[in-house]
């Protein structure tokens, strides 16, 4: 069990995953070495190739050519070939050997496909979008997995780090009673691994949404960008999970036609239940992010309105102060003007020799100042 799976042992776990979990060795005994540990080094794109008979690995070919030869020598066997970003030559070789449909091979070459299920004769082609949550950057990484399932072979073409198919292979090999059910059992185990890998992603996205809600009400200026980025990841997650519901129901609809084993039918229904649960959670995430974005926009608008109101109030107060200063400046300007006129040194000016000239000037200053004060007071400038 990987570290990620071990951390989730207390959460929801499928019946398929429980049945594939091998029994733990007694205390003090070392676990038996995995066949993968003694396998010969594989070429870069061939992650693992093995032949099985009655649920037991009988050989581990090092190349595709050896796999083809040994499978022909064992008509009752099953080949399970795992590839990671294979070359066109390798895919064309597989297509020629197992009669794979050209359209499916083209999809496996190009990648970037939507989740889907296609049947070409007796070969089933499945595209899955795996996902894993990266704790350090707090983001979701998506991978793509293409699976060819035939009467005596399973071919997996992986684009991306997820899912960990080596763990699926080990669990299947530790449960030969399930592995001997054939390629369909391997397909359902892969489906379960992909769906089970969605659980930590759901938990991570839920935690991010909780953090975003706190940041929104705290007024973090960077929260809008984080909401947008998480919304994009949620949309991508939704595109990965939503088609799986229809795909699994399509497989269940063919139980009778293709005489699927009853045990596998139960496992597939369990996987379908998990997919439905995950799809509903992802839909709720999308709705929650939409509501959070609306709330954030409302809070930002309210904050902007408050700032504009504060600016308006500050401007109003400033205008009132300007009015007061202007009013007093005008009142003080009136006596200054009168005094300036009578202070000019001209020999011939009216009222220079008038005995009441000084009282008249003082009275004129008082009248003008009083009149200006009354005017400004009535207009609430003072």
- What are the pLDDT digits (tens) for 14-37? 444 444 444 444 444 444 444 443
**pLDDT class for 251, splitting at 50, 70, 90?**
confident
Looking at residue 126, its pLDDT comes to 92
Looking at residue 47, its pLDDT comes to 73
**pLDDT class for 79, splitting at 50, 70, 90?**
very high
**pLDDT class for 308, splitting at 50, 70, 90?**
confident
Mean pLDDT of the chain: 81
State yes or no: pLDDT of 337 exceeds 90: no
Q: How many Å apart are CA 125 and CA 115, to the nearest integer? A: 11
Give just the sign of the alpha carbon dihedral 359, 361, 367, 373: negative
Looking at residue 162, its pLDDT comes to 64
- What tens digit of pLDDT does each residue of 349-376 get? 777 777 787 888 888 888 888 988 888 8
Q: How many Å apart are CA 59 and CA 15, to the nearest integer? A: 29
State yes or no: pLDDT of 275 exceeds 70: yes
**pLDDT class for 41, splitting at 50, 70, 90?**
very low
Give just the sign of the alpha carbon dihedral 87, 92, 93, 99: positive
Mean pLDDT, rounded, for 208-218 = 87
Mean pLDDT, rounded, for 120-129 = 91
If you search the block for the tokens 């794109």, which residue do you land on?
A: 45
Helix axes 198-218, 183-196, angle to 10 degrees: 20
Looking at residue 148, its pLDDT comes to 95
């Amino acid at each position: 069990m990987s570290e990620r799976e071990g951390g989730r042992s207390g959460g929801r776990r499928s019946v398929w995953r429980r049945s594939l979990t091998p029994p733990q060795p007694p205390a003090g005994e070392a676990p038996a070495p995995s066949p993968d540990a003694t396998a010969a080094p594989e070429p870069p794109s061939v992650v693992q190739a093995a032949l099985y008979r009655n649920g037991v690995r009988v050989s581990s070919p090092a190349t595709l050519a050896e796999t083809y030869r040994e499978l022909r020598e064992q008509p009752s066997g099953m080949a399970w070939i795992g590839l990671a970003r294979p070359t066109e030559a390798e895919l064309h070789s597989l297509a020629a050997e197992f009669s794979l449909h050209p359209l499916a091979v083209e999809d496996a070459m190009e990648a970037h496909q939507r989740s889907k299920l296609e049947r070409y004769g007796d070969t089933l082609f499945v595209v899955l979008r795996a996902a894993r949550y990266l704790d350090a950057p707090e983001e979701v990484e998506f991978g793509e997995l293409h699976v060819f399932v035939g009467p005596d072979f399973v071919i997996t073409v992986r684009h991306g780090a997820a899912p960990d198919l080596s763990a699926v292979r080990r669990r299947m090999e530790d449960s030969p009673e399930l592995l001997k059910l054939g390629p369909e059992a391997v397909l359902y185990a892969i489906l379960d691994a992909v769906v089970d890998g969605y659980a930590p992603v759901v938990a991570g996205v839920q935690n991010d949404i909780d953090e975003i809600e706190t940041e929104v009400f705290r007024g973090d200026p960077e929260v809008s960008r984080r909401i947008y980025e998480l919304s994009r990841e949620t949309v991508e997650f939704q595109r990965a999970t939503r088609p799986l519901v229809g795909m699994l129901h399509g497989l269940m609809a063919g139980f009778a036609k293709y005489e699927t084993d009853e045990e596998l039918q139960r496992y597939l229904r369990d996987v379908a239940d998990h997919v439905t649960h995950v799809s509903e959670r992802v839909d709720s995430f999308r709705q929650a992010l939409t509501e959070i974005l609306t709330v954030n926009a409302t809070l930002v608008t309210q904050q902007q309105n408050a700032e504009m109101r504060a600016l308006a109030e500050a401007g109003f107060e400033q205008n009132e102060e300007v009015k007061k200063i202007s009013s007093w400046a005008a009142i003080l300007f009136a006596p200054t003007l009168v005094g300036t006129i009578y202070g000019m040194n001209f020999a011939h000016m009216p009222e220079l020799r008038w005995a009441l000239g000084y009282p008249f000037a003082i009275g004129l200053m008082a009248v003008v100042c009083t009149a200006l004060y009354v005017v400004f007071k009535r207009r609430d400038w003072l």
